[in-house]
Structure 1
């Protein structure tokens, strides 16, 4: 069982001992730290925080704990209940709120939950702000409100509809263009809130929807990370239904993957590539993704006359670089689309609408679209951390070993070879080292990853 405290929030498994898992006491302590920080940060007496959650089994319990803690601090709550991460991000500025919390462990299995923390813009906190909250949680020096000053709770379950309306009003989204094509799409909502939001959006766009695991019970029917090995059912259903493509999202709907019409994975790395292709074809500009994302985005950006930049892994880092570079679209290679015209957050609903516009205007099949893009293959592997493993020293050793190559150390160690690359980094959310590689064939990408893993183990003596 695990509790991971990081600048991006607190994430852990339900049950067990305090300080080692996400117990009720840990949830209250961290919510109190966030509320205490927010009161100082906002610099005003009365505050409002927007709260939403995915459908996982522990969600209602954690929500009740977090909401009651903030109310005890004198903070008003706008309770969206079942929602999505991007929906909460949109709701914060629309409500003129001072912050927001999304209760979700993203792609992690059902035993996990987490508190994702937002500022008044509906964007994730930066490292400095996150560090202050961690310090406050450690000290447990909280000053709760008197009885007459307790916060109030307002329930508002309309925000998924508001979110969809915001997307339909984007200049690059035209529902009539999409409706005329008559798309048929299979949706795997992994029995979480994507099963509410994505079908609603598609129906508004005139798309015929075949629902798979769209009942938000929180009983995930498969591992909720949208990777090929977990998606056999939707791949089969797309071909059986003769659908144009399939859509898969993670439990909080900020990661988006497509299944091509032939039942094959479109490739989560190519979600951003395709959406950027459409946006850059309409809006000249630059792009940003993280260091672990495919070179294909760089290629597409340059094709459209723009400039590509890489950021450290983490949504807040990508957003910061997007703002600095005036990027018109960006995101992360795990299927996270950030479209500033909407908001600065990964958003599967926005990505779905942009992808439908691309397909409507280009014509042809999704498999043909995928074949038209530069062909890269990624291998994503990991090594479980052990207490005696000095990861920082290991990364320094790998940097030294490849010092004659092009190496970036802004986030772990990324080694760029002429035809491929490898990125080694500690995860912020799980006790693992991630090893990402990319090459022009799957065989080479896998072989490179295995070689690097072997080298790491040799250096570590494991």
Structure 2
């Protein structure tokens, strides 16, 4: 079991020993540290924090602990209950709140949960703010409110509908074109909150929706990370239902994967590519993704005479570079779409609406659209870490061994070869080294990964 503290929040497995897992005491401690950080950095007397959660079994328990801790600090809480990460991000801006906390472990299995922390813009904390929160938790420097100064607690339950309304207002979401196309779609929401909000969005867009694993009970029917090997059920159902395509979201609905009408993977890397192609065709500009994302976004951006840039992995890093480069769309190759016209956060609802608009305008099938893009193949692997493994030393050795190649070290080590690349980095959310490769065929991408796995093992 594990507890991982990082600038983006705290993530761990439920139960077990304090400080080694995400126990109630750890949840309270970290919520208190975040609340103190808010108070230390505001001149306002009355602060408000939005709190929402995905459908994980532990969600209600952790949310209750977090909400009451903030109230104990004298902070007002708006509990929006079962929700999504992008919904909480939007709620912070819609309500002009001072911050937000999302109770979700994203793609991790059901025994995990986490506190994701937002600033008053509804964006993830940057490195400096995250470090400050960690320092407060380490020092146990909390000052709780006296009885007459406790915060208030309010429940509101209509924010997923507000989120849908905001998506439908976007200029590039062509509601009439989507309705006219009469799409039929299968949705796999891994029995979390996406099972409510994605079908509701599709209904308003006039899309026929076949539900698969859309009961928000927190019992994930398969590994919740939307990778090919976990999505055999929806692939089969898309073909059986003669659907136009399939939609897959992770438990907190910030990652979007698509399945073509023949059951093949559109590829979560190509979710961003397709949405960017559509946005750039209407509003030319620049794009950003992280170092572990496909070169296909660069190719599509340059086709539209835009400039592509790559950031370190992590949503906050992508957002910072998007703002600096005035990007019109960006995101991460894990199916995360960030569209500034809506907000600076990965948002599957926005991704679904933009993709449907693109498909309606193109008058192509999902598979034909996928085949129209540059063909790259990725291999995503990992090596489990033990405390004895010196990851930094391993990455330094690899970088040194390939110093005559195009090596980028802003986030782990990325080595660009002529027709392929590899990115090695320590995960922010799990005790692993991630090994991502991309090449011109699946065989060569897999072979590149296996080659470097052996090189890493030789360094241990």
Shared fold, TM over 0.5: yes
Whole-Å separation in 2 of the counterparts to 1:391 and 1:114? 24
After superposition, give the CA deviation of every residue in 1:201-245 in whole Å (9 maximum; x if it has no partner). 000000000000001000001000000111111000000000000
Q: Which residue of 2 aligns with 1:84?
A: 84
Q: Which residue of 1 aligns with 2:100?
A: 100
Give the secondary structure class of the aligned counterpart of 2:430.
coil
Whole-Å separation in 1 of the counterparts to 2:71 and 2:116? 18
Report deviation, 1:347. 0.1
Report deviation, 1:139. 1.1
Q: Which residue of 2 aligns with 1:228?
A: 228
Whole-Å separation in 1 of the counterparts to 2:91 and 2:224? 25
Whole-Å separation in 2 of the counterparts to 1:332 and 1:53? 22
Report deviation, 1:148. 1.0
With normalisation by structure 2, the TM-score equals 1.00
Q: Which residue of 1 aligns with 2:112?
A: 112
Whole-Å separation in 1 of the counterparts to 2:268 and 2:174? 24
1:238 aligns with 2:229: no
Q: Which residue of 2 aligns with 1:195?
A: 195
Q: Which residue of 2 aligns with 1:146?
A: 146
With normalisation by structure 1, the TM-score equals 0.99
5+ long unaligned stretches in structure 2 = none
Whole-Å separation in 1 of the counterparts to 2:29 and 2:43? 21
Report deviation, 1:43. 2.3
Q: Which residue of 2 aligns with 1:48?
A: 48
Q: Which residue of 1 aligns with 2:25?
A: 25
Q: Counterparts in 2 of 1:389-404, with a 5 A limit?
A: 389-404=389-404
Report deviation, 1:268. 0.4
RMSD: 0.5
Report deviation, 1:123. 0.1
Whole-Å separation in 2 of the counterparts to 1:292 and 1:383? 16
Whole-Å separation in 2 of the counterparts to 1:341 and 1:231? 31
Q: Which residue of 1 aligns with 2:258?
A: 258
Report deviation, 1:342. 0.2
User: How many aligned positions are there?
Assistant: 460
5+ long unaligned stretches in structure 1 = none
Q: Which residue of 2 aligns with 1:415?
A: 415
Q: Counterparts in 2 of 1:206-355, with a 5 A limit?
A: 206-355=206-355
Q: Which residue of 2 aligns with 1:137?
A: 137
Report deviation, 1:93. 1.2
Report deviation, 1:364. 1.8
Whole-Å separation in 1 of the counterparts to 2:457 and 2:236? 38
Give the secondary structure class of the aligned counterpart of 2:359.
helix
Give the secondary structure class of the aligned counterpart of 1:62.
helix
After superposition, give the CA deviation of every residue in 1:252-271 in whole Å (9 maximum; x if it has no partner). 00000000000011000000
Q: Which residue of 2 aligns with 1:171?
A: 171
Whole-Å separation in 1 of the counterparts to 2:317 and 2:364? 36
Report deviation, 1:150. 0.8
Q: Which residue of 1 aligns with 2:432?
A: 432
Whole-Å separation in 2 of the counterparts to 1:103 and 1:451? 38
Whole-Å separation in 2 of the counterparts to 1:166 and 1:126? 26
**After TM superposition, which residue ranges in structure 1, 4 or more long, deviate above 2 angstroms?**
none
After superposition, give the CA deviation of every residue in 1:19-74 in whole Å (9 maximum; x if it has no partner). 00000000000000000000011222110000000000000000000000000001
Give the secondary structure class of the aligned counterpart of 1:42.
coil
Whole-Å separation in 2 of the counterparts to 1:436 and 1:406? 16
Whole-Å separation in 1 of the counterparts to 2:391 and 2:334? 24
